[in-house]
Structure 1
Amino acid sequence: MLWVNLVAAVITVFKDKREIAATWAWLLVLTFLPVVGFIMYLFVGKKLPRNRIYDIRTQQQIGIDQLVKLQKEQWNEKELLPAEEISDTAREMVHLFLETDNAILTKHNRVEIITDGKEKFQRLFEDVKKAKNHIHVEYYTFYNDKIGNEFLHLLERKAKEGVKVRIIYDSLGSRGTKKRFFEHLRSLGGEAESFFGDHRSFSNFRLNYRDHRKLVIIDGSVGYIGGFNVGDQYLGRDLKFGHWRDTHLRVSGNAAEAMQSRFFMDWNATVPKRRINYQENYFPLVPRQGETSIQIVSSGPDNEVQKIKLGYIKLINSAAEYVLIQTPYLIPDDSLFETLSLAALSGVKVKIMIPAKPDHPFVYRATQYYAKALLENNVEIYRYDNGFMHSKVLVVDGKISSVGSANMDYRSFKLNFEANAFLYDQRISMQLRNIFEEDMLHSTKLTIEDFQVQSAWMKFKQYFSRLLSPIL
């Protein structure tokens, strides 16, 4: 029986092309959990079907496809990236994302950094109330709780006024939120659809691939992107987590156009029978708002190129002074682990901030394992003690930064659909650095001794979780 199970496990795992680490992790699960493991694989281990990948990949970048073509032709010319305004590293980053993601460079944006959930929803609600034409919402989590109902009722009011409201939500991330939650909105002309269908359906064998993006676009001129979802816990109302520390951006300017295009591609892949076509009102002429240049970069299992991870690696490799990272999940693959280690061992100050408490036990134990491993390679690890750290931020030398939905883990790089803003602005990057340093006042700098005194059982859980890290 053992040999039959082993042969079945090998055939099951090797029939799909995947990374070696993920292959071994699934072999481990299928071998030691013969029945449960195969059920898990059926729902969360199977790769996206070819026709689904094709459908997602081929969605036209509505409204910006011609601009992408133009920028690819002009990326090395002064009119696109003036040398006096942007560094060589930034120029290379822009080219990387143009080539891998068709991510246009948008300039003259105004960016506001939001780190508190109450402020985030206050600002968001103010902008939604002013909407005249459309509101597009895409969240991994949209809970049926107090803030979720407040947001939904506001969207219903706008729909009643004639504003077009569209919502994409992830059914697994929005556990407990049923389809009927949005029925009244639909009756008023709004639309709400779950990405990849209902996670409760037994026909849905792609539970492992989730829409982790967090986007709101209002009238094509204001956009929100970052780490906050829609739920009471993000306002610090959950006693389990306490204060919720996250980072979000409110962007007014041309970057909203790039977010809009991303939303349309996701909508058209989710609801192919009601696809959105180009309309001028979706892409209005936006006057100059500020001085920040931004690329909105997305990644997901529909493409073998891990675009956001490549951006992280490129940025870290360019560091001359310091790298600052905030992430709730620290589970780097070999390439990112070596990049972080190389930077730290070369004299660059690499500081990583992680939570003090878990929201997913296995993931947190794997995070602890990699925190210790990076500590041994001169990386500084800080444990945020003032609540839960959910921020996804990378800052390099106070010049270039990234804020978005992608964590420093396998899942964000390979399995989730993510979206990040890469910002080429020293002022914004320095603001993010200052915020990091303020958070350090509420953090504990970890040492090797902190891990050495842990129990043998705790160390075993960390090692075991690390073995499963490619599929967590």
Structure 2
Amino acid sequence: MSLITWLIIIILVLNTTGAIFTVLREVRDISTTWAWLLVLIFLPIIGFGFYLFAGRGLSTKKLRRIQREYESGVKAFVSLQKHENARNKLLPPTDYTPAAKALTAFFLNTAQAPVLAHNQVQLYTDGEKKFAALFRDIESAKHYIYVEYYTIYNDELGNQFQQLLIKKAKQGVTVKVLYDAWGSMGASAKWWRRLTDVGGQVESYFSSKHPITDFRLNYRDHRKIVVIDDHVGYIGGFNVGDQYVSRKPKFGYWRDTHLRIIGNTIYALKIRFTMDWNATVGEKDEIAYNVEQDSPEGQSGEGMTAGSTPIQIVASGPDRPTQQIKLGYTKLITSATKSVWIQSPYLVPDDTVIDALVSAAMSGIDVRIMIPDMPDHPFIFRATQYYATYLARAGVKIYHYQHGFMHAKTVVVDDAIASVGSANFDIRSFKLNFEVNAFIYDRKVAGTLAEIFEADMKQSYLLTPAIIASQSRWLRFKQDFSRLLSPIL
């Protein structure tokens, strides 16, 4: 054999050995392990570069910091729970269904998430209206503004948002901003200096002093939380940027879902932000945990409930062994007696969720899933198409939203229980990202979300057997290939 042949053999042997060692040195599920072996073996050298970017786990130091704050946060949640139990019944008897009882107990045991009653909820599906409300609340802030977003862009809306925070910081309001560096490309330290120079505090979630050697795609802070003055909180799917207010021609109309909450739940949002902030900053900049003894006074408003909505704020992330939000979704699906309606920009579920959806559909449950009809990430879009086809063949009704980009992350079960938050219906949200959702036990709110779903159906088309049969072989190949990478997308 020639020298070149020997070199190729040596490279392949070393590459394969290195791939096996690299992948097996961290504990992963079998599907993820095989996906990474596929990448590393069939993309010699290049695959290892991709692994450094997207495959490494969290460092031990970072995990310790998260664990320390988790323990402190749990104590605060327990205090909040005891206070709430002393004041209120957890759920109104009419809504305390067996499914609700099981789900609240599950989240209480796995996520230390108390059920907090006496909330008013306003739903936003339009970015302009959501940010108009948020900006009004920021304008009214007198004590503090806590902000946590995956994406804050240096664009027209982002600068408008920043200028408002600068104005409040100059007025003496405490302003703290936590953002994700990967999701907020363009929002540089220089750009943020305009806020920090007037007293605001800005941190990138788990920023590194060595961004080149420690940069990774996974383990992103995908949460979207705003808390203002122990008075109002926001949670949902909208980030901060022009595309989220439909100013980007690429996406057209941006369809999302977000909650504005007044009531006891804002304390859970405040604790969640505090945990994330303290895990990121130095000790001198930490926020003290302080569970208030009086819930905020309710305010009525257009589109709001009467102040009786019970909510659980549930977070999940790669720092915890239990995938709380995914398992919560699964419990919701398996507990359904009538309907399961889901909206998500990405549909890349694991086997557990697939089995739950298929089992529900085959049991006569009305299972509907709405996804966008346009991509924002090519591989994820093709993988979403693959699973949409698979589930459609199993009896799940798949709707492709055509009026712009569908970015909402909502689940409505039996018009009685609902979830709105940051977690998509994909493996990345289930196990690789830090996420937070509001699980809502209110028939009025759930019914409103169901009505919104039905309105969105008028802007969508149903995936039928004829459409599936018309797909080209090349399209099916791209879907099949993307599906192989689904555990690491």
Smaller-chain TM-score range? Answer: over 0.9
Whole-Å separation in 2 of the counterparts to 1:17 and 1:426: 41
TM-score (norm 2): 0.93
Residues 23 and 284 of structure 1: CA distance in aligned 2, closer, same or farther (over 3 Å):
same
Report the equivalent of 1:92. Answer: 102
> What letter corresponds to residue 276 of structure 1 in structure 2?
I
Q: Distance in 2 between matches of 1:253 and 1:111?
A: 9
Change (3 A) 1:433 1:169: same
Amino acid at match of 1:426: R
> What is the alpha-carbon distance in structure 2 between the residues aligned to residue 424 and residue 200 of structure 1?
44
302 and 283 in structure 1: CA distance in 2 versus 1, 3 angstrom threshold: farther
Q: Report 1:27-38 matches (<5 A).
A: 27-38=37-48
**What one-letter code is carried by the residue in structure 2 that aligns with 1:67?**
S
Contact 1:62 1:265 (8 Å CA) reproduced: no
- Shift in alpha-carbon separation, 1:305–1:66, aligned structure 2, 3 A: closer
Q: Does 1:65 align with 2:77?
A: yes
| CA shift for structure 1 position 203 | 2.6
Deviations 1:378-427 (A, max 9, x none): 00000001000000000000000000000000000010000000000000
Once the two structures are TM-superposed, the CA of residue 85 in structure 1 deviates from its matched residue by 4.1
Per-residue deviation, 1:206:
3.6
Aligned Cα root-mean-square deviation (Å): 1.9
Distance 1:67 1:279 in 2: 9
Give SS of 2:73's match: coil
Specify whether residues 295 and 456 from structure 1 end up closer, same or farther in structure 2 by C-alpha distance, changes over 3 A only.
same
Matched-pair contact (CA < 8 Å) for 1:68–1:98: no
In the other structure, the counterpart of 1:275 is 286
- Do the aligned residues in 2 keep the contact of 1:171 with 1:199 (CA within 8 Å)? no
Q: Write out per-residue CA displacement over residues 87-137 of structure 1, whole angstroms, 9 at most, x where no aligned residue.
A: 121111111111111111110100000000000100000000000100000
SS across alignment from 1:58: helix
Relative to structure 1, the CA distance from residue 199 to residue 330 in structure 2 (aligned partners, 3 Å threshold; closer, same or farther) is farther
Q: TM-score, normalised by structure 1?
A: 0.96
Displacement after TM superposition at 1:204 (Å): 1.7
Query: What is the aligned partner in structure 1 of residue 257 from structure 2?
Result: 247
Aligned match of 1:343 in 348, 360, 364?
360
Question: CA offsets per residue over residues 46-100 of structure 1, 9 Å max, x none?
Answer: 111233222112211188334356389x79x993345444212111111111111
Q: Which amino acid aligns with 1:377?
A: A
State which drifts further: 445-454 or 351-360.
Answer: 445-454
Query: Does structure 1 residue 395 correspond to structure 2 residue 412?
Result: yes
- 1:213-252 equivalences in 2 (<5 Å): 213-252=223-262
Structure 1 equivalent of residue 115 of structure 2: 105
Tell me the alpha carbon deviations over residues 21-50 of structure 1, each in whole angstroms, 9 at most, x when there is no partner. 110110011011111110111122011123
- Pairing partner for 2:218 from 204, 208, 230: 208
- Secondary structure of 2:485 counterpart: helix
Residue 18 of structure 2 is aligned to residue 8 of structure 1: yes
Tell me the amino acid that sits aligned with residue 93 of structure 1.
L
1:405 pairs with 2:415: no
Once the two structures are superposed, residues 228-286 of structure 1 have per-residue CA deviations (whole angstroms, 9 ceiling, x without a partner) of: 00000011110100000000000011111100000000000111332111357x78641
Q: Give, as a single letter, the amino acid of the residue that structure 1 aligns with 2:37.
A: L
Q: Which of 372, 385, 398 is equivalent to 1:355?
A: 372
**Which of 373-382 and 48-57 deviates more?**
48-57
Name the residue aligned to 1:171: 181
Displacement after TM superposition at 1:324 (Å): 0.3
Is the contact between residue 68 and residue 103 of structure 1 (CA under 8 Å) also seen in structure 2?
no
Write the letter of the residue equivalent to 1:70. K
Misfit runs of 4+, over 2 Å? 62-72, 77-85, 282-285
Alignment equivalent of 1:137, drawn from 121, 128, 147: 147
Could you say which residue in structure 1 is the equivalent of 2:203? 193
CA contact (8 A) 2:243 2:254 kept: yes
> Which residue among 184, 187, 192 is the counterpart of 2:194?
184
Question: 1:228-377 counterparts in 2 under 5 A?
Answer: 228-273=238-283, 274-279=285-290, 285-288=295-298, 290-377=307-394
Structure 2 counterpart of 1:53: 63
User: For residues 66 and 351 of structure 1, do their structure 2 counterparts lie closer, same or farther at Cα, with a shift above 3 Å needed?
Assistant: closer
CA shift at 1:454, angstroms? Answer: 1.5
The one-letter code of the counterpart of 1:221 is H
Bigger-Rg structure (1/2): 2
- The separation in 2 between residues aligned to 1:173 and 1:351, in whole angstroms, is 29
Q: Distance in 1 between matches of 2:17 and 2:456?
A: 50
Query: Whole-Å Cα distance in 2 between the matches of residues 66 and 428 of structure 1?
Result: 27
Aligned to 1:414: 431
Distance across 2 between alignment mates of 1:388 and 1:462: 20
Distance 1:424 1:378 in 2: 27
Tell me which amino acid in the other structure corresponds to 2:442.
Answer: D
Residues 247 and 392 in structure 1, CA contact (< 8 A), matched pair in contact too: yes
Offset, 1:306: 0.3
In the other structure, the counterpart of 1:468 is 485
Unpaired runs of at least 5, structure 1: none
Q: Whole-Å Cα distance in 2 between the matches of residues 400 and 316 of structure 1?
A: 11
Other structure's SS at 1:28 match: helix
Amino acid at match of 1:351: R
Tell me, yes or no, if the aligned pair for 1:62 and 1:277 is still in contact at 8 Å.
no
Contact 2:76 2:290 in 1 (8 A): no
Q: SS state of the match for residue 394, structure 1? A: strand
One-letter identity of the residue aligned with 1:64 = A
CA distance in 1, matches of 2:209, 2:328: 31
Instruction: Give the 3-state SS of the residue equivalent to 2:330 in structure 1.
Output: helix
Residue type of the alignment partner of 1:394: V
| 2:6 alignment counterpart | none
